[in-house]
Amino acid sequence: MNPKSKKLFEHARRIIIGGVSRNTVFRLPYPDYAAKAKGCYITDIDGKKYIDFANNMASLIHGHAFPPVIEAVTKQIQKGTAFTLASEIELEFASHLKDRVDSFERVKFMNSGTEAVMAMIKASRAYTGRSKIAKAEGAYHGTYDFAEVSQTANPKNWGDIENPNSVPVAHGTPKSVLDEVVVYPYNDIERTLAILEKNESDIACVIVDPVPHRVGLMEGDEDFIEAIYNWTRKKGVLMVFDEVVTLRVNYGGAQEKYSVPPDLTAMGKIIGGGFPVGALAGRAEVMSVFDNHRNTILYPHAGTFSANPVTMTAGYTAMEYFDELSVMKLNEFTENAKNQIEQVLKVADVPVSLTGAGSMFRIHLKAQLPNTYRETYQQDMEKAVIKELLDYLYYEENILMINTCSCMLSTVTGQKEIDRLSEGLERGLKLLKPKIENLKNLVYD
């Protein structure tokens, strides 16, 4: 369909392993290559224009080529891109984040969400002197060995819900890594506390994503978050948040909703303003493991491009424009969009449900709203129908979504784009209705 992209991919396969460096952009028979993007739209090298509801995996809070970011970054690039000196913009941006989120007493920048989570885990170990971490079954926390355990657990290997298995993602993951990861069922207080209790003397931190995308993009129940917090206070364990995706949910992040603060928070995506970024923030006492003034630095951490002035400028500009009013408007707009899509689901008369928070939502081919990873889990037949729906939207409606059937809206998303999404979904769901209906008969092992 797109001959230029096809030709480019054939060449790419001879140079780049698999043809792409990011699995998320791969699609059969070949991925399409972007030529340019502006606002809500991407145009590929064959001239096809797509409405973008993925926003580079939730990282573009103002869409593509946001003018204030482009202007600020262009000025900075003319001054230099990276120095072996500190930069003033790092301090300005850190101050902004500290003022924005109550739990941020100290801030440290790095280069990706994966690195931020990795630093969060290692800082927790350095602070507590313990080695194990606890994480939710199915939760995605980047590609660090320990953080990725059980993100792809399935009925054949996930084990008893009372004591979920630690399941590797990458072949060759050492057993010693699996032994250091305690897996708990998200939004299940009783079972989670029982599992944590069995490992209380070894756990450095309990990682919580307050709206875990892979688990199902449902919010953590307030009682669940508070139960984890109270347990960690009694046991000398840290409760740490992965807000790489969810910082967009409220002005002060998804954690703004809860009455209990995390000890540390990992960030990424929107705080880069379209550039690679990561950050860790939290209690000064815990963050002191990084402090260069200590006689013994408990966790020496560096990075060639950490806090480089281009990323800091882009991120600071993007977050300043994502002020309290912008957050409120985008969340209200997204809520209206979800209501509009709910009406589409009724008209299409299919057993489909919607989860989400803030400016994010996910479509599930299930009549019942999932609240845990095992309720969200998709068998092969369901995955095939979701892929068919996403392919229909992409190829026939020119609509790009995240491959979990999720949308991450930006401040430049308008009603016209939501109308197009609603219309496309209605046509796609009606087309696939018999297959979606058949999913009700699936039996989960």
The whole-angstrom separation of Cα 367 and Cα 352 is 5
Catalytic residue among 30, 33, 50, 140: 140
Question: Who contacts 287 (Cβ-Cβ below 8 Å, separation ≥6)?
Answer: 105, 106, 108, 123, 264, 280, 281
**222-235 vs 189-198: helix axis angle to the nearest 10?**
20
Q: Smallest Cα–Cα separation from 339: which of 331, 329, 327?
A: 331
Asked whether the beta carbons of 393 and 424 are under 8 A apart, the reply is yes
Catalytic residue among 242, 251, 366, 392: 242
Instruction: Please compute Rg for the chain using Cα positions.
Output: 22
| CA end-to-end span of the chain | 39
Element (DSSP H or E) covering residue 314 = helix 309-321
The whole-angstrom separation of Cα 364 and Cα 359 is 17
Q: Does the active-site annotation cover 188?
A: no
Half-sphere exposure of 244 (CA within 13 A, CB side): 27
Q: Does the active-site annotation cover 235?
A: no
Q: Please state, in angstroms and as integers, the Cα–Cα distance from residue 338 to each residue in 169, 217, 332, 361, following that order.
A: 33, 14, 10, 8
Q: Smallest Cα–Cα separation from 372: which of 139, 208, 207, 186?
A: 186
Catalytic residue among 269, 316, 373, 377: 269
Cis previous bond, 29, omega within 30: yes
SS3 379: coil
The whole-angstrom separation of Cα 316 and Cα 321 is 9
Q: Does the active-site annotation cover 242?
A: yes
Amino acid occupying residue 16: I
Asked whether the beta carbons of 294 and 124 are under 8 A apart, the reply is no
Amino acid occupying residue 263: D
Q: Please state, in angstroms and as integers, the Cα–Cα distance from residue 116 to each residue in 203, 280, 282, 296, 313, following that order.
A: 19, 6, 12, 22, 19
By annotation, the residues acting in catalysis are 140, 242, 269
